[in-house]
């Protein structure tokens, strides 16, 4: 990646030598990722972020398929960039169905069957949820969409390089993946498109990326993205096993040690690296900042940590009330998480919760 910031500085759209080199690097990155995803048709469009890929998927397909229909289906727990794109399309006259999820965050395929109409042009359901880690039944969803002739997009930002993805077997027409989620540089992501997808660009200009994403291509970030993907896919099986063990240790440890603690998301159908708890009578931002002081980085879906002062839409979709969502804590494991670090967290977290409960007017 680094040479493409300096001596191989060329613009891949230019004809001169360094430009050609950059273009070859771009092709090679595209081929690497196509190989990892085992695709030999369709195309990989590089974008600047998963947010951009999801915007392109929803808006691009909606605008290109107007004569086919005006209806889209997404789940209620999609990332904000999908929900906001859907909401924007609603403003433009499209209809959107937001599929509910059960208490574990799972979409029900029967709900999808009921929601599909003759007007439906796109179904977008994430592969796994970023907050609660629940893995959606996308194989079933993909098959349903294929039977009904509806394009299926999945936001795989959380799963690409972490758990297996089978583009053909899952009937995926479009897939979003992001570089920085797999330790690649920020500023690179992709949208895979099967040959059948009819899509319009949402950024117009010089016609880069098959005319679907005009902008000078961010070669260094994309080269880094491909390298990071290569490493992640190579480590996927072993890392998946290792992280699942650590994750379960963390879940069991916390639920056993801390009274009034609960797991958010599915106990089994969940990302190897995601843990999301909630604790009665304490607020999430307080937990996060107390943990921060102890050297642990975490996040929360509490209303207090949101600029809009509303609890996370994912936690609300699970059926949690305001108080329950208030006490949520997300912990993410990664390549540098160790048993020792999990042990350390299990040692310090009960004290943090206990102390905040002592300050809280609510007690069990």
Partner 1 sequence: MYSQKVIEHFRNPKNRGRIKNPDGVGKVGNIICGDVMWLYIKVAKNENGEEIIGEIKFETFGCAAAIATSSMVTELAKNKTLKQALSINRQDVVNSLDNLPPVKIHCSVLAADALAEAIYQYWSKKKKPIPKKLLLRHQRVEKEKELIEKKYSGWFEKRAT
Among 75, 261, 302, 337, binds partner 1 (CB under 8 A): 302
168 binds partner 1 (CB under 8 A): no
The least CB distance from residue 327 to partner 1, in Å, is 9
| Among candidate residues 340, 355, 251, the one with its CA nearest the CA of residue 293 | 355
Ramachandran region of residue 295, left (φ > 0), alpha (ψ -120 to 50) or beta?
A: left
Asked if 124 touches partner 1 (CB under 8 A), the answer is no
8 lies in the binding site for partner 1 (CB under 8 A): no
Contacting range for partner 1; rule: CB under 8 A; set: 101-109, 206-214, 264-272, 288-296: 288-296
299 binds partner 1 (CB under 8 A): no
Annotated catalytic residue: which of 7, 234, 304, 354?
304
Answer yes or no whether residue 162 interacts with partner 1 by CB under 8 A: no
Q: What is the DSSP letter of 40?
A: S
Nearer to partner 1, 230 or 285 (CB): 285
Least Å distance, CB 329 to partner 1, is 13
Look up 304 and say whether it is catalytic.
Answer: yes
Q: Quick check: 93 binds partner 1 (CB under 8 A)?
A: no
The single residue among 25, 150, 275, 303 that binds partner 1, judged by CB under 8 A, is 303
Select 205 or 259, whichever has its Cβ closest to partner 1: 259
Return the beta strands (E) in the chain as ranges: 43-47, 71-75, 95-99, 120-124, 151-155, 174-178, 189-193, 261-263, 274-279, 328-332
Size of the site for partner 1 (CB under 8 A): 27
Nearest residue (CB) to partner 1, 238 versus 364: 364
Q: Which of 237, 257, 289, 347 binds partner 1 (CB under 8 A)?
A: 289
Min. distance of Cβ 288 from partner 1 in angstroms? Answer: 9
Residue with tokens 């890392």: 239
Q: Is 293 in the site for partner 1 (CB under 8 A)?
A: yes
Choose the binding region for partner 1 from 28-36, 68-76, 321-329, 335-343 (rule: CB under 8 A): 321-329
The dihedral built from the CA positions of residue 266, 268, 273 and 275, taken in this order, carries a sign that is: positive
Question: How many of the other CB atoms lie within 10 Å of CB of 80?
Answer: 13
Stretch of residues binding partner 1 (CB under 8 A), selected from 12-20, 174-182, 190-198, 279-287: 279-287
Contact flag: residue 364 with partner 1 (CB under 8 A): yes
The verdict on 267 binding partner 1 (CB under 8 A) reads no
The phi, psi pair for 140, rounded to 5°, reads -65, -45
Which residue from 27, 119, 166, 358 is in contact with partner 1, where contact means CB under 8 A? 358
Residue 255 is a binding residue for partner 1 (CB under 8 A) = no
Looking from the CA of 290 toward its CB, the CA atoms found within 13 Å total 18
CB atoms < 10 A from the CB of 52, how many? Answer: 22
Q: Which residues pair with 329 in a beta bridge?
A: 277
Q: How far apart are CA 153 and CA 354, in angstroms?
A: 43
Phi and psi at residue 26, to the nearest 5°: -65, -45
Query: How far apart are the C-alpha atoms of 348 and 256, rounded to whole Å?
Result: 14
Q: Does 297 bind partner 1 (CB under 8 A)?
A: no
| Cβ(197)–Cβ(174) below 8 Å | yes
Return the residue of 35, 109, 285, 348 that touches partner 1, per CB under 8 A.
285
Residue 21 or 280 with smaller CB distance to partner 1: 280
Pick from 283, 298, 320, 349: which binds partner 1 (CB under 8 A)?
Answer: 283
The answer to whether 229 and 223 are in contact (CB under 8 A) is no
Report d(CA 26, CA 217) in Å as an integer: 9
**What does the alpha-carbon distance between residue 113 and residue 123 come to, in Å, rounded to a whole number?**
11
The footprint of partner 1 (CB under 8 A) covers 280-283, 285-286, 289-290, 293, 302-305, 307, 309, 311, 321-323, 326, 358-364
Q: Hey, which residues are catalytic here?
A: 304
């Amino acid at each position: 990646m680094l040479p493409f910031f300096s001596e191989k500085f060329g613009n891949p759209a230019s004809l001169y030598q360094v430009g050609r080199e950059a273009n070859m690097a771009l092709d090679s990155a595209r081929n690497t990722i196509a190989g990892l995803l085992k695709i030999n048709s369709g195309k990989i469009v590089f974008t600047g972020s998963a947010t951009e890929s999801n915007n392109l998927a929803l808006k691009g397909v909606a605008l290109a398929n107007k004569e086919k229909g005006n209806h889209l289906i997404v789940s209620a727990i999609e990332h904000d960039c999908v929900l906001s794109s859907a909401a924007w399309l609603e403003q433009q006259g499209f209809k959107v169905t937001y599929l509910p999820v059960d208490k574990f965050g799972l979409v029900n395929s029967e709900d999808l069957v009921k929601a599909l109409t003759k007007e439906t042009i796109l179904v977008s359901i994430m592969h796994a949820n970023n907050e609660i880690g629940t893995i959606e039944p996308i194989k079933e969803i993909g098959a349903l969409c294929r039977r009904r002739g509806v394009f299926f997009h999945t936001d795989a930002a959380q799963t690409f390089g972490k758990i297996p993805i089978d583009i053909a077997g899952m009937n995926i027409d479009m897939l979003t993946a992001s570089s920085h989620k797999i330790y690649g540089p920020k500023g690179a992501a992709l949208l895979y498109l099967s040959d059948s997808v009819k899509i319009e660009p949402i950024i117009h200009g010089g016609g880069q990326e098959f005319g679907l994403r005009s902008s000078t291509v961010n070669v260094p970030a994309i080269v880094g993205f491909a390298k990071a993907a290569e490493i992640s896919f190579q480590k996927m099986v072993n890392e998946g096993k290792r992280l699942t063990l650590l994750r379960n240790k963390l879940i069991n440890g916390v639920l056993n040690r801390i009274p009034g603690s609960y797991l958010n998301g599915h106990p089994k159908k969940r990302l190897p690296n995601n843990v999301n708890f909630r604790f009665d009578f304490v607020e999430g931002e307080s937990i996060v900042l107390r943990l921060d002081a102890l050297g642990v980085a975490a996040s929360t879906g509490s209303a207090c940590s949101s600029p809009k002062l509303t609890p996370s839409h994912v936690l609300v979709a699970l059926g949690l009330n305001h108080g329950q969502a208030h006490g949520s804590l997300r912990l993410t494991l990664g390549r540098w998480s160790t048993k020792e670090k999990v042990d350390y967290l299990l040692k310090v977290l009960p004290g943090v919760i206990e102390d905040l409960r002592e300050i809280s007017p609510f007690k069990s």
